[in-house]
Amino acid sequence: MDLQTTIYIGVGLSFALYIGIAIWARAGSTSEFYAAGGSVHPVTNGMATAADWMSAASFISMAGLISNMGYGGGLFLMGWTGGYVLLAMLLAPYLRKFGKFTVPQFIGDRFYSKSASMVAVICLLTASITYIIGQMTGVGVAFSRFLGVSSEVGIYVGMGIVFLYAVFGGMKGITYTQVAQYIVLILAYTVPAIFISLQLTGMPLPQLGLGSNMVGTDVSLLSKLDMVVTDLGFGQYTTTTAGSTLNMFVYTLSLMIGTAGL
């Protein structure tokens, strides 16, 4: 069996898993469709939220940004992560308290205004469409690479799969599908990192390997990384920042607010 056939089988099985979960967890009521019936365990919900964070933007773009920007690229990591914290602290509890399924419903009732609700709908559509364009572009790039198809075909495939499990299961199906995605993604992140760390430093934990010496030398992995990227014309991986400290703070804050708003 050649590599391309193996890839097709792996992708096909993952798609079948996602659609199968959506059918198994299909929504039977409005509450299940919009809020999974309020029956999702906090740990399960955390896994689904983590899968939402580990999207095309983080899986492809942020990895490239941090590789290019080094330490300064960490602001994207902190900004997007902090946005979820803001959301959990400042919006989610009140949405749950009011018993509403959508943010426009919540805003309309909270401010006793249909106009406010309409503004929320417009903001929601604007932010979501902008976000989806970026995400679907990432899906098209990824699929075109390992499926051997054009990026346009990759986008249609990705949209079709998402449409199927969103329509079948609503938020309940999406939640459990994203749990499966979380398991797939976390393995895709950690398994290569573990083996790369073992090969370069002999340490099985990448976090410890990053601060260890290269195998058979007295040169630390971070020092070697600095040497490699500076030879390629980039700034030092461990010290380069995106402007001043204030600039990094404002960037991080804007990413936090943008993520929470989205």
CA–CA separation, 161 and 164 (whole Å): 5
**3-class SS at 235?**
coil
| CB crowding 26-54: b at 16 or more within 10 Å, else e | bbeeebbbbbbbeebeeebeebbbbbeeb
Query: For residue 96, which phi and psi values (nearest 5 degrees)?
Result: -65, -40
**HSE-up (13 A, CA, CB side) for residue 217:** 12
Residues 6+ apart with CB under 8 A from 168: 19, 22, 23, 26
CB 171 within 8 A of CB 32: yes
CA–CA separation, 188 and 182 (whole Å): 10
Share of the chain above pLDDT 90, in %: 6
Give 124-143 pLDDT, tens digit per residue. 888 888 878 887 888 888 77
Give 47-76 pLDDT, tens digit per residue. 988 887 887 677 777 777 877 777 788 888
pTM value > 0.85: no
**HSE-up (13 A, CA, CB side) for residue 147:** 21
CB 19 within 8 A of CB 164: yes
Nearest residue to 8 via CA among 229, 215, 157: 157
CB 136 within 8 A of CB 159: yes
Share of the chain above pLDDT 70, in %: 98
CB 212 within 8 A of CB 203: yes
**3-class SS at 220?**
strand
Give 152-210 pLDDT, tens digit per residue. 888 888 888 778 777 777 787 788 888 888 888 888 888 999 999 999 999 999 888 88
Q: What is the mean pLDDT of the chain?
A: 82
Long-range contacts of 37-46 (CB under 8 A, 24+ apart): 37/172, 40/172, 40/175, 44/175, 44/176, 44/179, 45/175
Percent of residues in the chain assigned helix, strand, coil, to nearest 5: 80, 0, 20
Q: Quick one: tokens of 123?
A: 């903001």
- Residue 174, amino acid: I
Place of tokens 């051997």: 148
